[in-house]
A = this chain, B = another copy of it.
Amino acid sequence: MNTVLDDENPDFVIYLGDVITANNILIANASLYWDQAISPTKSRGIPWASVFGNHDDALFEWPMEWFSAPGIPRLICPEANSTHSEACSFRGTHRLELMKHEIDHNALSFSKNGPKELWPSVSNYVLQVSSSDGPKSPVVYLYFLDSGGGSYPEVISTAQADWFRHKSDQINPDLRVPELIFWHIPSRAYKKVAPRFGIHRPCVGLINKEGVAAQKAELGIMKLLTKRPSVKAIFVGHNHGLDWCCPNEKLWLCFARHTGYGGYGDWARGARILEITQKPFSVKSWIRMEDNVVHSRVVLSP
């Protein structure tokens, strides 16, 4: 992450989920690892935003070894209060706690919890990228959605789709401002456009080493995005062995590139870069590798 940030010197960083692997972080201390993961960006004074993946939080699982000697570790209870007995049991760190920690401790973080009514999905929000002419003049909207996984099923709910519809109608009713979408787990549409046997036009990318591991259901968000001409591209992570962009009608479906050293696979690390220009509007993308090499240049808009 340090190398790529030094090479590209970006204005903004997006963490696309699976920032940490908290499946086995049983006690609520995962925030420490989260802080480490964002430190390369933070230490350079670069602002950022994050969404959740399927590894960032998870339900508690009892380790079998706790049932043999030396037994179950002592549990520190917040207070002896019978009406909150569940506060005194082992559990993983919740999405909401991770997000609250990130926001509370980082002035540079643009992450948001999103509307409470979308719980248990947490990282649903929109950021406006403003023109140099002034903050009232939006150049592009960046939408972030929580695609689930970990502590709840891997889906983007109907409620999230409804939220996107209302929000986008409200802030961009005439579809004048281009929109880019970010979440972690590819939707089922990615399976449809996935290249077979290498990567060939119109797809652009370098690795195509595994099947698309898509969300468990398609509950409406893709239908909305596909028929909304202002939406230019969706960016997901999740599959470490995939880094392609493929068009699905007028919408680009892109994978990022596995950047950190956590998680499965030993494909070389890199990061997807987006370059947004205002006049004329364009979105260009490429992948910057840890060893400086740049590949997979693609124009996503206009």
Please report whether the interface of chain A is mostly helix, strand, loop or mixed according to DSSP. Answer: loop
A95-109 toward B: CB 8 Å interface, digit per residue (1/0)? Answer: 011000000000000
**Neighbouring B residues of A97 by C-beta, 8 Å:** 85
- Checking B67, B96, B159, B216 against A64 with a beta-carbon cut-off of 8 angstroms, the contacting residue is B216
- A120 and B62 form a contact (CB under 8 A): yes
Interface residues of A in 111-131 (CB under 8 A from B): 119-120
Closest beta carbon of chain B to A7's beta carbon, Å: 40
Q: Quick check: A217 and B67 within 8 Å, CB to CB?
A: yes
Contact B96 A152 (CB under 8 A): no
Q: Is there contact, CB below 8 Å, between B87 and A86? A: yes
Q: Which of the 9-residue segments A68-76, A183-191, A226-234 touches chain B?
A: A68-76
Contact indicator B72/A83 (Cβ below 8 Å): no
What 4 A-B pairs have minimum CB-CB distances, sorted nearest first? A67-B157, A62-B152, A69-B158, A67-B155
What string of 1s and 0s marks CB contacts (under 8 Å) between A121-148 and chain B?
0000000000000000000000000001
Q: Once bound together, how far apart are the Cα atoms of A295 and B187, in whole Å?
A: 59
Q: Would you give the 0/1 interface string for A141-173, flagging 1 where the beta carbon is closer than 8 Å to chain B? A: 000000010001101011100000000000000
- How many chain A residues have a CB neighbour from B under 8 Å? 33
Show 16 residue pairs from A and B whose CB-CB distance is below 8 angstroms, ordered by the A residue: A59-B60, A62-B120, A64-B153, A64-B155, A64-B216, A66-B157, A67-B148, A67-B157, A67-B217, A68-B219, A69-B159, A71-B157, A78-B83, A84-B84, A86-B87, A89-B120
Nearest-Cβ distance from residue A25 to partner chain B, whole angstroms:
15
Min CB distance A62 to B, Å, is 5
Residues of chain A whose beta carbon lies under 8 Å from any beta carbon of chain B: 59-60, 62, 64, 66-69, 71-72, 78, 83-87, 89, 91, 94, 96-97, 119-120, 148, 152-153, 155, 157-159, 216-217, 219
Which of A86, A87, A96, A219 gathers most chain B CB within 10 Å? A86
Nearest-CB distance from A299 to chain B (Å)? 35
Q: Please tell me which one of the listed residues B59, B68, B94 contacts residue A85 in the complex, with CB atoms under 8 A apart.
A: B94
In the complex, A48→B86 CA distance in Å? 28
Contacts of A83 in B (CB 8 A): 78, 87
- Nearest residue, chain B, Cβ from A28: B86
Besides the known contacts A72-B120, A86-B94, 8 further A-B residue pairs in the complex with CB atoms under 8 A apart: A59-B59, A67-B155, A67-B217, A68-B158, A68-B219, A85-B96, A89-B94, A89-B120
B residues within 8 A CB of A84? Answer: 78, 84, 87
Name the distance in Å between A11's Cβ and chain B's nearest Cβ: 34
